[in-house]
């Protein structure tokens, strides 16, 4: 996948915009605010991101090592960070999985296995995220709706989108033939309206993708213990990510309910997940501002947004870029051994 200049420009504009905005708002106070931040808590946020990436790698490695025992963990780590990088620079995080599949194939994982591993992880993540969001909505929406009324509709919309994805995946897993038939009818209808070109090709692609999902579901049913382990790790992973704002709060010697802050970050994720820009540019910052003004005083809120965005988004791009463009021999192991044998 080529990196589109448009996406990089959007990210750059977003970065310049947030730095300029915070600098303008705080002016001479900016350096003083940063100097008062407790370095151990800031370093803690960096550690949280490392743990988050590590859990992401571990979850993917659980399923990959099951289907491809020769897979090395360091290779899975690189695959993970490549996915993180392309998720950040593409709308709706759409570029991560294709590039991860490509890297896995280059390092010796058969394409069918690579696809199954990534699909399985995607399904588990979506289910866990939806259940996590449901729990947060049940216990915390009323508390936040009293002070953030305008955004509750967006939270529900974000939750509805994630729920629709999960229901769609489950329908493929349990009612594949009916789902394929219904989807093809929709494509036919869109084709008659002129909204979809090359209808037969689209339907062939849909059938192929649904077959892959269905096979992954069948395999998941046969490996329930491993899927449960992946789900538990995913819950921990999301919690670690949601804790980043709490560590930023503590860095400025402020206190707040850990549960409320985790819930607020979950709401931010629900809203920003359907922003059609790389990294949900703009939407992520606005939603963070809206929810976390309940915890940060006005003189620290803008700086907190900058720190949060730098750590959770721009740092991920930088680290992911290092893994993506790290030059090494990515030929499959069998091919390298064959070449060594010929030389000998």
Distance CA 144, CA 152 (A): 8
Low-confidence ranges of the chain (pLDDT < 50): 329, 333-334, 336-337, 340-341, 343-344
Distance CA 45, CA 307 (A): 10
- Give the Cα-Cα-Cα angle 268, 274, 279 (nearest 5 degrees): 75
Q: Are 271 and 158 contacting, i.e. CB atoms less than 8 angstroms apart?
A: yes
Smallest CA-to-CA distance from 94 within 104, 81, 83, 106 is with 83
H or E stretch at 34: helix 29-36
**What does the pLDDT read at residue 340?**
47
**What does the pLDDT read at residue 155?**
85
Q: Are 132 and 238 contacting, i.e. CB atoms less than 8 angstroms apart?
A: yes
User: What does pTM read for this prediction?
Assistant: 0.87
Distance CA 121, CA 71 (A): 16
**What does the pLDDT read at residue 331?**
52
- The domain ranges of the chain are 5-328
């Amino acid at each position: 996948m080529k990196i589109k200049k448009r996406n990089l420009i959007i990210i750059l504009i977003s970065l310049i915009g947030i730095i300029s905005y915070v600098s303008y708002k705080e002016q001479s106070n900016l350096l003083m605010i940063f100097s008062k931040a407790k370095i151990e808590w800031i370093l803690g946020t960096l550690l949280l991101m490392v743990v988050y990436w590590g859990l992401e790698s571990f979850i993917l490695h659980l399923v990959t090592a099951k289907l491809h025992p020769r897979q090395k963990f360091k290779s899975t780590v690189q695959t993970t960070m490549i996915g993180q990088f392309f998720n950040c620079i593409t709308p709706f995080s759409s570029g991560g999985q294709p590039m991860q599949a490509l890297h896995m194939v280059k390092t010796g994982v058969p394409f069918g296995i690579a696809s199954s591993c990534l699909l399985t992880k995607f399904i588990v993540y979506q289910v866990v995220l939806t259940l996590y969001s449901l729990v947060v909505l049940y216990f915390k929406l009323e508390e936040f709706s009293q002070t953030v009324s305008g955004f509750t509709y967006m939270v529900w919309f974000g939750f509805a989108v994630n729920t629709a994805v999960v229901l769609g995946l489950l329908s493929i897993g349990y009612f594949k033939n009916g789902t394929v038939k219904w989807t093809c009818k929709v494509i036919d209808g869109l084709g008659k309206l002129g909204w979809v070109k090359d209808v037969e090709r689209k339907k062939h692609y849909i059938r192929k993708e649904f077959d892959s999902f269905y096979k992954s579901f069948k395999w998941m049913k046969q490996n329930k213990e491993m899927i449960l382990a992946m789900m538990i790790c995913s819950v921990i992973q999301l919690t670690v990510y949601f804790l980043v704002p709490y560590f930023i709060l503590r860095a400025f010697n402020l206190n707040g309910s850990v549960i409320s802050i985790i819930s607020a970050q979950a709401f931010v994720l629900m809203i920003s997940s359907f922003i059609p820009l790389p990294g949900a540019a703009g939407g992520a910052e606005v939603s963070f501002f809206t929810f976390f003004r309940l915890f940060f005083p006005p003189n620290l809120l803008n700086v907190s947004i900058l720190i949060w965005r730098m750590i959770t988004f721009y740092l991920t791009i930088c680290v992911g870029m290092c893994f993506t463009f790290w030059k090494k021999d990515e030929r499959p192991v069998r091919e390298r051994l064959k070449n060594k044998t010929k030389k000998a």
